[in-house]
Structure 1
């Protein structure tokens, strides 16, 4: 695939108001991540933050709006506070749309957290709540050989914010990595899809706001909160994930 990349971000949720006030919606947040990846890629004659990226955003929850596949080159599905294995009408519509993309070979799919799980579900894999509980804050991800090849690091540190997981890798995808809490941390099929369970688009401030809010709501215990706050400022490899996403789009 050659730039310009027409990337549609499917917003599977809206950020908390304090996050949205500073960073915008998830489409805006992912645009910044992709621009960072484009500049980090080091191929300014091909793609950069100023050239070769056309990012649009689509509210698939409240407006249930979707781009025509003829008008995009890739679809990126965001994270969400909603549950990928539920059968709400908008979730079923998203799963069907994902299946439609995967049935053809031109438009490619990128998934993050909830989006990663939706891809797994659309391909027939089991998705559900993890009996081992939450995985939050910056967490090391052990990489497979393919994961090391794509991310160009030996171990990936990435923000996490999830309790739901894909329990298995769908047929036809390659595993990218795992953690002690989640064995399906990333999926890849050349020319078709790439996804991660973590949040490359988060930074320390965004993650901290969510952690504090969920602790105040009683979702996170004191022990979980304190552990997460001790790791939330650790180095994370969001840029490396973004670069891998763009390399994936550049593949023939």
Structure 2
């Protein structure tokens, strides 16, 4: 797939908290900025932050709207505060749509956090609440040999905000990354799918807002919160990940 413009539909699986939305917009806007930065980094002929991409957004939660597959080249499934293993009608509809996309050969799938887990669920992988607890803020992630090849470096640092995991990699995919708490931090099938458990789209400001809000809600104890707060503004590989996403969508 090398023809431009590259048409990417962003499936918004959540609405950011008010402070994030006021500053950065919805997840469609947040991912659009990331993908444009990735396009500039990739330096692919005819593709940049200002040309060669058509980005669209779809609210799959309240409006339950989806793109027509003939109108897009790839879909990106966003993160969410919701549980990917729940059976709310909109989640079941999203799983079925993901199965439909994976079942054809042209449109490709990118999954991020909740979206990563939805792809796993669509492929009949076990998605569960981890007994090892949360992974939050900027963290180093070990890459497999294939992961190192795809991301072009020995390890990856990404924002994390999850305690749900894909328990084990579906047999038909290649695992890209892992940590002690999460064995499947990324998945890959050439010309079909690429996923990451982390949040390449997050900035330090977004992460800090989420950390403070969830600490106030009692989701994070003081020790976990203070540890994460010490890492929220560290360098991370969001643009590196976006560049890998675009290379995947363009590869022949």
TM-score, normalised via structure 1 length = 0.99
Shift of 1:46: 2.7
Shift of 1:84: 0.2
- Structure 2 Cα separation of the partners of residues 46 and 123 of structure 1: 34
Q: What is residue 10 of structure 2 aligned with on the other side?
A: 9
Q: How does 1:42-61 map to 2 (within 5 A)?
A: 42-43=43-44, 45-61=45-61
In the alignment, structure 1 segments of 5+ residues that lack a partner are: none
Q: What is residue 23 of structure 2 aligned with on the other side?
A: 22
- Structure 2 Cα separation of the partners of residues 227 and 22 of structure 1: 25
Count of aligned residue pairs for this structure pair: 251
Computed over aligned residues only, the root mean square deviation of the Cα atoms, in angstroms, reads 0.6
- Structure 2 Cα separation of the partners of residues 150 and 46 of structure 1: 22
- Structure 2 Cα separation of the partners of residues 21 and 234 of structure 1: 23
In the alignment, structure 2 segments of 5+ residues that lack a partner are: none
Structure 1's consecutive aligned runs of 4 or more residues displaced over 6 angstroms after TM superposition are none
Shift of 1:66: 0.5
Q: What is residue 66 of structure 1 aligned with on the other side?
A: 66
Q: What is residue 211 of structure 1 aligned with on the other side?
A: 211
Q: How does 1:104-119 map to 2 (within 5 A)?
A: 104-119=104-119
Over residues 192-247 of structure 1, what are the superposed CA-to-partner deviations in whole Å (9 max), with x where a residue is unaligned? 00000000000100000000000011111000000101111111000100000010
- Structure 2 Cα separation of the partners of residues 7 and 220 of structure 1: 35
- 3-state SS in 2 of match to 1:76: strand
